[in-house]
Structure 1
């Protein structure tokens, strides 16, 4: 395994922890906000440097230079590969923009200390490949959220029950897998991952969280989709085909159901929660296809949902910071007071459903393209879910920003920090839509390696061996394992990406 030139991963985990310690000693919320911005900015720089360094190595996986954790435990616990390389800067960017878009008037209500701790745990989770360490980090991520609910004197019953069941399923499932009961253990791990993702009917904790926690905390807990990461690391290598099909069917039902629920919500937070639930479920739909194109589309949707719906949630959070909880039963007419936020609301919302020319278009296109070839009804259901979400987004836009003239006694326009966040998100969303080749190529390589890993693990005669880490959920894959479909699908993916960049709204069929 190759080495990075610097210990990027350990720095990106250590910096938020140091920032959290400093913030704990500060009493001034404005100073705490500045320290948090510095820590999040340095973490983003390290995560981006890690991604660039890894890309220049031209390898599937690498570990830190001067890997202290590896020296201590004699295992490669934190590893960067094709799957998590873009997820790390994406998670760091969401944390930075959340801190940046937090107004000074709301700084007292938002815990920067808990955000930095959660960021360190999140980066560590997305950098990890050891099964038991992933489980421990997934459980640790629930603690800051639970503590915030308690500090706000909100009922924690729903969240506690679901996360306790989640923890029990993870631990028992992994123990059974290691003792050879792969069938039962894999089933328990699958249910645990679906619960964490919020799949119907295990989704009520998510709507409860958005109603009771601060918007920023709920967004950072859900938007990075660590439940999908658990599926990729813990479930995909060992699950039989029927299990992946079950995950995909339940996810497809969730996508359509949540799209319908987003249309009829009376409160903006619940609307956003169902919208996020619907679009994030499409990532797991790609698992059933188990083809390079389908999995590539799912991984592209993962990136686009994290970026676009992360920006959509931050925009809604900024609007809510000015006018309070937003009712969807009446028109608010806020466009004249906040045109910048209105434009970002529409841009990020449409990008999340795959509007042509945005970063979400190529992912949805690849997902539908592959689904129609395998099961036509799945492709139709994906289109229906996207259509329902599109109608819900436009309905929310008209309710919040149009309808009548809103009278305000003070300025509601976006602050400088929010405009910076708007510019960053808009640039990434549009650039990713007009030049999708880099993203598609990266996700295609990750899909190929994931499928090779799965094929090799299921074939007793394949040249496949585990790493030195007995608890690792990743394994080294030897080159002889072949993928019959990859040679024909790779040109197809490249053609789709090129034609999308040249004519984003043209008909390529």
Structure 2
């Protein structure tokens, strides 16, 4: 563990939250946006410092900020980063900056900007938390601002009543995590542990064997809801189409649900994860294929991108469940690639909707003549998200595919089919939106469409450049997470070698805690 005197991670988490509070005194809309861009840029710079000085291959968390315990509870106020989380910090900061800097002005009013900053702050805290109770608190905090804003929008707009499904799903995805946190605390107090929720201590002690299936099921439900894995996916396309700008991307594209599996589920209940691996693979593959088919059936570009995110979440869940070094490394790489590419694609779609007043493909067409840059970035970002050669997603999908082939050769067939359907979906969307004919009633409107503005071009070009450069030089990202990947795979492999003797594991865990 590397403890530092500079509380850099605490600053990283606090800066967006303080920026959101300061927006209360910034009344002018343009000033509010400029302030938010500055805050998110500073946050990205701090995250870049953490990544720049991260020591690859070192065991334990780094840049640790320890603020002591909460008296009477044993909750450790401790932040730190490891190989699994340090890249997620930069991804979260980058996506938030891109959304704020390039998002349509009319969608970024002061309340939405404050919610984006608060969500970013809580998400960064979630990735840094070294205590399960603190991690759970940040998990809840990521949802509260979105919950409030969505509820207000739903009350103000009767046509947005479907957005209330977001609250239902988020509640269903939070209660299981709260139950697990309470259960772990009770088990720790009974065994006399001073810090019952500390993640490192939890991984060393494990969960008693009789409780592993319960804890595994609850945490898997939590992660699947947050990742929008089928059948817990219907909130995401609705939020993408009708919800406040950017919230769906921050809740899904930073892949907090995937991190929960990597950081908590696998270390805490490795036997249950190994025993349920086949089931998780099936659920993930079905979700990936189902999401791709639903994306193909959509006519609204926002919902199309939403279902593509559902599909990618399913594939990443299946890849993680195969649990070999190639598949896990591919999943973590793919989470970055799709997070960046789909955010860029969503930005282009939102700009298109702001210019034309619709994202319905049946009402669009021929836009390449009036907005060639918009068409070019839509095309590039679409195929950057699908594993086009030379991009980071190509490297991630290649590793994922080889890992799946090694573990379950037949599983590779639906994976390839899912990718092919997604490619057809995006090519069809590009053709209908930018190359097709123009509907007579829309011809006058589309003749006045403005192409991407300079700030929008910079954001889209920057996001595509990251995916492209990452595809040419994926080594640094792989090395940063190499130790975390090896540790996870070895832990589950050891469990598989010794079998699933939960009863004996329970007695061993109880003895070690005493």
Check whether TM > 0.5: yes
**Structure 2: distance between partners of 1:104 and 1:413:** 15
Gaps of 5+ in 1: 471-509
More displaced, 23-32 or 182-191? Answer: 182-191
Q: 1:74 to 1:118 in 2, by over 3 A?
A: closer
Q: Which residue of 2 aligns with 1:223?
A: 253
CA contact (8 A) 1:16 1:40 kept: yes
Q: Which residue of 1 aligns with 2:67?
A: 69
In structure 2, what is the Cα distance between the partners aligned to 1:296 and 1:335? 38
Tell me which of 298, 303, 315 is aligned to 2:336: 303
Is 1:207 aligned to 2:237, yes or no? yes
SS of alignment partner, residue 129 of structure 1: coil
1:30 maps to 2:35: no
Mapped to 1, the partners of 2:66 and 2:259 lie a distance apart of: 24
In the alignment, which residue of structure 2 is the partner of 1:494? none
1:131-170 alignment runs, 5 A limit: 131-152=132-153, 153=155, 154-155=160-161, 156-170=163-177
Query: How much does 1:454 deviate?
Result: 4.2
Cα distance in 2 for residues equivalent to 1:132 and 1:204: 28
Q: Which residue of 1 aligns with 2:483?
A: 445
1:198 — aligned with what? Answer: 228
Displacement of 1:441: 2.7
Structure 1 CA distance, aligned partners of 2:420 and 2:164?
35
Residue 484 of structure 1 is matched in structure 2 by none
Structure-2 residue corresponding to 1:320: 353
Q: Give the 3-state SS of the residue equivalent to 1:86 in structure 2.
A: helix
Q: What is the CA–CA distance in structure 1 between the aligned matches of 2:287 and 2:455, rounded to whole Å?
A: 36
Shift of 1:58: 5.1
For residues 281 and 172 of structure 1, do their structure 2 counterparts lie closer, same or farther at Cα, with a shift above 3 Å needed?
same
- Structure 1 stretch displaced more, 179-188 or 346-355: 179-188
Check 1:374–1:325 CA distance in 2 against 1; reply closer, same or farther (3 A cut): same
CA distance in 2, matches of 1:171, 1:244: 24
Unmatched tracts of structure 2, length 5 or more: 188-207
1:7 is matched with 7
Q: 1:69 to 1:174 in 2, by over 3 A?
A: same
Q: Which moved more, 1:35-44 or 1:410-419?
A: 410-419
C-alpha displacement at 1:42, in angstroms?
A: 0.2
The aligned residue for residue 46 of structure 2 is 46
Task: Within 5 Å, give how 1:113-128 maps onto structure 2.
Answer: 113-128=114-129
Task: Please show how residues 288-299 of structure 1 align to structure 2 within 5 Å.
Answer: 288-299=321-332
> What is the alpha-carbon distance in structure 1 between the residues aligned to residue 342 and residue 298 of structure 2?
18
**Within-5 A mapping of 1:419-458:** 419-454=457-492
The higher-RCO structure (CA 8 Å, 6+ apart) is: 2
After TM superposition, the score normalised by the length of structure 1 is 0.85
Note the C-alpha offset of 1:105. 3.8
1:234-275 Cα shifts (integer Å, max 9, x gaps): 221213312232222101100001111111112111111101
1:189 aligns to 2:235 (yes or no):
no
Task: Classify 1:168/1:62 alpha carbon distance in 2 versus 1 (closer, same or farther; 3 Å).
Answer: closer
What is the aligned partner in structure 1 of residue 180 from structure 2? 173
**CA–CA distance in 1 between the matches of 2:5 and 2:382?**
38
Q: CA deviation at 1:88?
A: 0.6
Counterparts of 1:71 and 1:171, CA distance in 2: 19
Alpha-carbon distance between aligned partners in 2 of 1:457 and 1:177, rounded to the nearest angstrom: 21
Q: Secondary structure at the match of 2:61?
A: strand
> Is 1:86–2:84 an aligned residue pair?
no
Question: What is the distance in 1 between the residues matched to 2:358 and 2:4?
Answer: 46
Relative to structure 1, the CA distance from residue 129 to residue 341 in structure 2 (aligned partners, 3 Å threshold; closer, same or farther) is farther
Deviation of 1:280 after TM superposition, in Å, equals: 2.3
CA distance in 2, matches of 1:422, 1:287: 29
Cα deviations across residues 362-414 of structure 1 (Å, max 9, x unaligned)? 11011111111221111111111111111101111111111135544645111
Contact between 1:308 and 1:429, CA under 8 Å: does it hold in 2? yes
Is this contact kept in 2: 1:262–1:271, CA < 8 A? yes
Partner of 2:202: none
Shift of 1:193: 1.4
**Equivalent in 304, 308, 312 of residue 271 of structure 1:** 304
- Tell me the equivalent position of 1:483: none
Could you tell me whether the CA contact under 8 Å between 2:78 and 2:129 is conserved in 1?
Answer: yes
RMSD (CA atoms):
2.6
Gap change, CA 1:307 and 1:107, over 3 Å in 2: closer
Query: Aligned partners of 2:231 and 2:215: how far apart in 1?
Result: 21
Task: Give yes or no for contact 1:300–1:443 (8 Å, CA) kept in 2.
Answer: no
Q: Report the count of equivalent residues.
A: 463
Q: Work out whether residues 3 and 64 of structure 1, in 8 Å CA contact, stay in contact via their aligned partners in 2.
A: yes
Structure 2 residue 124 is matched with structure 1 residue 104: no
Deviation, 1:143, is 1.4
Alignment of 1:246-395 (within 5 A): 246-395=279-428
Superposed displacement of residue 151, structure 1: 2.1
Distance 1:64 1:319 in 2: 42
- Cα distance change on mapping 1:284 and 1:112 into 2, 3 Å: same
Task: After superposition, give the CA deviation of every residue in 1:187-218 in whole Å (9 maximum; x if it has no partner).
Answer: 11112211221121111122222233123222
